Structure 1
Amino acid sequence: MKFLILFALVAVAAAGEVKFHDCGHNEITKVEVDGCSGELCTLHKSKPVHLKSTFTANQDTTKIELKITGKLNGIEVAVPGVETDGCKIVKCPLKKGQTVPFEYTFTIPAIVPAVPDTMVTLKAVGDHGVLACASVHNKIEN
């Protein structure tokens, strides 16, 4: 299932396609983040991040658990305050082979430190394991 990766976002201008690392099984076809394009996305604390993506379901599933993490000083840390129930974002259940549009907006919390170089990862987990996973190279600013 190609999954829409949500992260690496800054709501500033029109969405741009960003380069991402697939950490799943090639389920995700593309990732767009407002105000970003290319290899590095600048995210701003306390600002909305709007992500748009498309993925192909790699399994039949009745649930989707979303996990958004960032690497801080080499340690993977969950981004607080983001929705973890993917079925509130896309309509569940999903069927294997189904193309799924994904659109999500969240805010980088003010408590997150400014980081000049990090990877933000979105992982979607279904009933039978990883549904989709992608990482985007970012910097986080005030």
Structure 2
Amino acid sequence: MPLFRAIYSSRPFGFEAAILNGILLQARRANERDGITGALICREDIYLQWLEGPEDRVRDTLARIQRDDRHVEMRLHVAAPVEERVFSHWAMLHDPAVTWIWTQKQVSAGIAEQSAPEQVTGFFMRLRDQVNNAKS
């Protein structure tokens, strides 16, 4: 079955640890069920999520997230078929990337809406490399 990748950003509504833990628990459970892998970079002012798996399942997940009131101003950055998974061992890798993505001021100014897909993809490639280097 062909693989599909989607990367979106959204702003958290009412960010707190309990809400984030709920999102991660639900995402991991649903992703394992649906054959989706990926990663979530989150902070109190932005979520960036990478999803990969069967196209219909990834699109269903995006639609579910779009309806979820814990996410506002959702924007799709990447939606494309791919040859292989990048986060194949992770139902949902979580990383609170505080220092190497946009500043809070940039997020408030709308940088997510202005960013090229390559920039957003680059954040996740850096995360993948960090995780792989930590395992070595």
The verdict on a shared fold, with TM-score over 0.5 as the criterion, is no
The structure whose residues are more often strand, as a share, is: 1
Taking structure 2 as the reference length, the TM-score comes to 0.30
The structure whose residues are more often helix, as a share, is: 2
Taking structure 1 as the reference length, the TM-score comes to 0.29
